[in-house]
């Protein structure tokens, strides 16, 4: 039996809204909000940004297409699944196909939607859409921007699971996508 222990909260009241600096990936917004519990007012930071997408791409043999690249936030090389920003007006499924092809040269005949998560609902207004590509194979040349340097690694699914558990694969949005396809509990077996 699930129980609600305390009073349900209400939505906060928007008092005013003001835009700050445009950081390109993010546009800063400040919302002045009133807490319905005590009517006190607070300025809240919001980072407006487009939806994002990432792809769990499995080959016919069940291997996973991953990418290694230098990430500026953590100032180190990371191992992730392909993904990126959904262009304005673009369907997330098309963005997923585009990012997979551009970053890895892989395409796939079978696609299914794995759902979406909020990247950071406290501060950001966007979703990250997760897609599954099956029977993926390398069919194209990659199209890397001048600002990219990406290695493609095709990994056994057990190897992917191990690298998550050991902390080598640790981008939260990548883990969120992978857990829809693999059992990522430390106590689990091979996850398949």
Q: How far is the CB of 22 from a second copy (least distance, A)?
A: 11
Looking at 88, 109, 141, 147, which residue binds a second copy (CB under 8 A)?
Answer: 147
Of 89-108, binders to a second copy (CB under 8 A) are: 104
Tokens 């700050």, residue located: 20
Residue 170 touching a second copy (CB under 8 A): yes
Decide whether 73 or 89 has the Cβ nearer to a second copy. 73
Residue 82's closest CA among 140, 36, 29, 150? 150
By CB under 8 A, tell whether 168 contacts a second copy: no
- Binding a second copy (rule: CB under 8 A), the pick from 119, 133, 136, 161 is 119
Report in angstroms how near the CB of residue 133 gets to a second copy at its nearest.
16
Q: Which two tokens stand for residue 36?
A: 């319905």
Query: 84: closest CA among 123, 53, 114, 56?
Result: 53
- Tell me the site size for a second copy, rule CB under 8 A: 89
Element of type H or E holding 32: strand 27-34
141 binds a second copy (CB under 8 A): no
Please state the φ and ψ torsions of residue 102, each to the nearest 5 degrees: -65, -45
Pick between residue 94 and residue 184 the one whose CB is nearest to a second copy: 184
The position carrying tokens 């997760």 is: 130
CA neighbours closer than 13 Å in the CB half-sphere of residue 5: 0
**Which of residues 15, 18, 22, 37 is near a second copy by CB under 8 A?**
37
The interface mask with a second copy, positions 65-84, x = CB under 8 A, is ---xxxxxxxxxxx-x----
Indicate whether 62 belongs to the interface with a second copy (CB under 8 A).
no
Residue 25: alpha-carbon gap to chain centroid = 15
Contact status: 109 vs a second copy (CB under 8 A): no
- Please, are residues 134 and 114 in contact by the beta-carbon 8 Å criterion? no
Residue 126 has phi, psi (to 5 degrees) of -110, 165
Binds a second copy (CB under 8 A): choice among 15, 18, 20, 22: 20
């Amino acid at each position: 039996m699930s129980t609600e222990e305390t009073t349900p909260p209400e939505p906060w009241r928007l008092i005013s809204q003001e835009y700050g600096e445009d950081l390109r990936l993010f546009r800063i917004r400040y919302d002045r909000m009133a807490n319905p519990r005590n009517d006190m007012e607070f300025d809240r930071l919001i980072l407006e940004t487009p939806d994002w997408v990432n792809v769990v791409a499995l080959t016919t043999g069940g291997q996973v297409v991953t990418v290694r690249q230098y990430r500026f936030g953590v100032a180190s090389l990371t191992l992730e699944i392909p993904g990126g920003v959904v262009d304005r007006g673009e369907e997330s499924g098309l963005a997923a196909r585009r990012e997979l092809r551009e970053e890895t040269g892989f395409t796939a005949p079978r696609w299914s939607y794995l759902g979406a998560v909020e990247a950071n609902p406290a501060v950001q207004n966007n979703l990250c859409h997760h897609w599954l590509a099956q029977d993926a194979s390398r069919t194209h040349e990659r199209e890397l921007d001048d600002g990219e340097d990406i290695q493609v690694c095709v990994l056994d699914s057990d190897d992917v699971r191990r690298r998550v558990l050991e902390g080598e694969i640790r981008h939260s949005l990548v883990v969120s996508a992978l857990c829809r396809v693999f059992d990522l509990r430390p106590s689990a077996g091979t996850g398949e």
